[in-house]
Amino acid sequence: MQQLVTGIHHITAMCNGSQRNIDFYCGILGLRLVKKTVNFDAPDVYHFYYGDESGAPGSIITFFPFEGIIKGRRGKGMLNTTTFSVPVASLDYWQQRLQRFSVNAKPPQERFGQETFIYFEDPDGLGLELVLNDNDTRPPFSYGHIPLEHSIRGFFSAEIWEEGYEKTAELLTGQMDHTLISQHENRYRFAATNTPGNYVDVLCSPDALKGLSGGGTVHHIAFATPDHDTQTAVRTRLMGQSINPTPILDRSYFTSIYFREPGGVLFEIATSGPGFAIDETPEHLGEALRLPPQYEPMRAELLASLPAVSVNIEQFR
Q: Are 218 and 13 in contact (CB under 8 A)?
A: yes
State the minimum distance, in angstroms, from the CB of residue 26 to Zn ion: 20
- Based on the shown chain and the rule CB under 5 A, indicate whether residue 177 belongs to the binding site for Zn ion: no
| Angle in degrees, CA 11, 176, 252, rounded to 5 | 45
Q: What are phi and psi of 170, to 5 degrees?
A: -65, -40
Residue 240: count other Cβ atoms within 10 Å of its Cβ: 9
- Based on the shown chain and the rule CB under 5 A, indicate whether residue 59 belongs to the binding site for Zn ion: no
Rounded distance, CA 63 to CA 47, Å? 6
Residue 281: count other Cβ atoms within 10 Å of its Cβ: 8
- Based on the shown chain and the rule CB under 5 A, indicate whether residue 272 belongs to the binding site for Zn ion: no
Judged by CB under 5 A, which stretch of 10-18, 21-29, 177-185, 192-200 contacts Zn ion? 10-18
State the minimum distance, in angstroms, from the CB of residue 208 to Zn ion: 24
Judged by CB under 5 A, which stretch of 31-39, 178-186, 222-230, 277-285 contacts Zn ion? 222-230
- Based on the shown chain and the rule CB under 5 A, indicate whether residue 268 belongs to the binding site for Zn ion: yes
State the minimum distance, in angstroms, from the CB of residue 60 to Zn ion: 9
CA 68 centroid distance within chain:
22
Task: Name the residue whose CB lies closest to Zn ion.
Answer: 222
Judged by CB under 5 A, which stretch of 9-17, 124-132, 150-158, 272-280 contacts Zn ion? 9-17
Out of 4, 6, 11, 12, the only residue in the binding site for Zn ion (CB under 5 A) is 12
Residue number with CB closer to Zn ion (12 or 231): 12
Each residue 111-130 as x (binds Zn ion by CB under 5 A) or -, in order, gives --------------------
Judged by CB under 5 A, which stretch of 110-118, 162-170, 201-209, 220-228 contacts Zn ion? 220-228
- Based on the shown chain and the rule CB under 5 A, indicate whether residue 82 belongs to the binding site for Zn ion: no
The footprint of Zn ion on residues 139-168 (CB under 5 A) is none
Query: Looking at the DSSP assignment, which residues form a beta bridge with residue 51?
Result: 32
Burial of 195 (0-12, 13-18, 19+ CB in 10 A): middle
Give the residue among 11, 15, 110, 13 at the shortest CA–CA distance from 71: 15
- Based on the shown chain and the rule CB under 5 A, indicate whether residue 90 belongs to the binding site for Zn ion: no
- Based on the shown chain and the rule CB under 5 A, indicate whether residue 28 belongs to the binding site for Zn ion: no
Count residues near Zn ion (CB under 5 A): 3
- Based on the shown chain and the rule CB under 5 A, indicate whether residue 217 belongs to the binding site for Zn ion: no
* Residues at the contact surface with Zn ion, assessed by CB under 5 A: 12, 222, 268
